Amino acid sequence: MKNLSYYQILGVASNATSREIRRAFFEAARKLHPDINPHPDAQEQFIAVQKAYETLSSRKKRAAYDASCPLGGYSLPKVKTPFESRLLFSAAGISRLSEPQLFYALLEIRPNLTLPREKECALNICLVIDRSTSMKGERMDMVKANVSAFIKKLSPTDLLSVVAFGDRAEVIVPATPVSQLGDKADRISLLSNEGATEIYHGLERGLFELQKASTSGVIDHLILITDGHTYGDESLALALARKAAEEGVVISALGIGSEWNDEFLDRLSGLTGGSTSFVSFHRDQKDFLAQRIKTIGSVFVRRVRIQINLGSHINLKFLFRLAPEISPLPLENPVNLGNLVYQAGQKLLFEFLVEPIPAGVNEIRLGDFLVAGLTSGDDLEKQVHISFVRPVLDEPVVAESPAEIIDALSRLRLYRLYEKARLELKGGNVELATRHLQFLATHLIAQGENKLAQAVLSEVNHVQKGQAISREGDKRIKYGTRALLLPATVEGGNS
């Protein structure tokens, strides 16, 4: 037991409650007590269990122990589930304050690779393409070329359908195995432009095509490509997204140019566990479609979601997915995360607002979280329960947060700073928004993100002249600061 943590010795997760720790100790003590267990190693193990319990059962000793080693750790599910979890907290405990305070948790959900890998599922993909008049010319030519390249990367057994929409929707390619597409694929090159942008019609038809071809075990994914700002049908489209999430469909959105509604598409895709990307170049669009195949085609667990039950006097203020796709997640219950792929887990950053803690409360339950999903080989739902629990400390918490949380908050700060400046401009506070934009540019330069900093300074100049932030600049800065959250190994060079 020399290399085991106290949590591992007792067989509990690092976020175990006092009751769970006490129960685990008594169970272990009954089995290992020298008067009962004659095994030569029993006495040594019994002493180790006693020492672990002595530390973890004391609020102060446990806080000191957590502060001296990485905060959090891997949860230990009692039964094998298709996912594992790692949980980090921003501090060993929560200070007893007379005012509200922010507290952070980083949850990583990873595939349990000790389980046998199932045969990869076939993909059922529907491309929903905006064919409105604003897409005419170079934009539509780029889409056609990249869609053709995308089809060549699919497997013969994958299913593909294509829907085009303006102010009405039309099925260009019905759901067909890639091996049988033949001349049907040529219909994409014949797409012409007409009508205005009404996303609801495209989504409705696209989801219907997916539903027709969907069978047990396939991965259903809708990719929306648009350059337009839909009007009047947003609530209907969001209702469709919620229905899609219930059926296990993930929606990814690709915004071309600067006219599309980023807040709407972020919410639309986020409701299903998908994400929205901004592209302005041919290469960006090609990379987006290629990445879709990688993330869709290597699914370990489908329809992953988290049911959240917050503790008393706890508010969830913000939830952001850091990996593999970067996006804010809608604060709806349950939170849909889409699919979990083999290559990487999903990292979620929670921001909690903790109300003042009254005297006599020595432990805070931030919340109970039920993670559920379907393995790729069957349709049986698997679940794992995770509790976010921290001790309450009467003295100020001075231990440094884990580097992973510090780094995430540092990078996320720039994205949220821009979001704050946007809200200030909407509210008419131009002076404060300008200061925040200048502050943002300074920090981007310090990080070597010179092109992005120049884009911010250009918009500062517009604002100071009484102009609004340009639509192109707005999306470049929003999605550029969001991209800073990508791991260093895959960041694009902006300097």
pLDDT digits (tens, 9 = 90+) for 326-380: 899 999 999 999 988 877 789 999 999 999 988 888 888 999 898 888 876 566 6
State the pairing for strand pair 101-111/381-393.
Answer: unpaired
The two structure tokens encoding residue 315: 């508010």
Looking at residue 71, its pLDDT comes to 46
Q: Check residue 358 and give its pLDDT.
A: 86
CB 175 within 8 A of CB 126: yes
Secondary structure element (H or E) that encloses residue 146, with its range:
helix 138-153
Per-residue model confidence (pLDDT) at position 105: 95
Residue 133, classed as helix, strand or coil, is helix
pLDDT given for residue 400 in this prediction: 73
Contacts for 348 with CB less than 8 Å, ≥ 6 apart: 106, 107, 108, 109, 306, 319, 320, 321, 322, 329, 337
Cα(408)–Cα(338) distance, integer angstroms: 22
Assess contact for 161 and 188: CB atoms under 8 A. no
pLDDT at residue 75 in the model: 43
Query: Over 60: is that where the pLDDT of 283 sits?
Result: no
What percent of the chain has a predicted confidence (pLDDT) above 70? 87
For residues 234-250, average pLDDT? 95
> 218 near 124, Cβ under 8 Å?
yes
Are 399 and 390 in contact, with CB atoms under 8 Å apart? no
Cis peptide leading into residue 396 (ω within 30°): no
pLDDT confidence bin for 59, thresholds 50/70/90: confident
Mean pLDDT over residues 290-299, rounded? 70
| pLDDT value for 60 | 82
pLDDT band at 67 (very low <50, low <70, confident <90, very high): low
Mean pLDDT, rounded, for 257-286: 86
DSSP annotation of 364 reads E
> Residue 169 pLDDT > 70, yes or no?
yes
| pLDDT digits 0-9 by tens, 369-413 | 988 888 765 666 788 888 898 888 887 766 678 889 998 898 899
Residue 456 pLDDT > 50, yes or no?
yes
For residues 12-32, average pLDDT = 77
Mean pLDDT over residues 457-468, rounded?
A: 92
156 vs 290: CA distance, rounded Å: 16
Give the type of residue at 104: Y
Model confidence, pTM: 0.78
The rounded mean pLDDT for the chain is 85
Distance (Å, whole) CA 422 – CA 420: 5
Distance from C-alpha of 332 to C-alpha of 454, rounded to nearest angstrom: 36
Which is more confidently placed, 273 or 302? 273
SS3 assignment, position 223? strand
- Residue-wise pLDDT tens digits, 203-234: 999 999 999 998 877 889 999 999 988 889 99
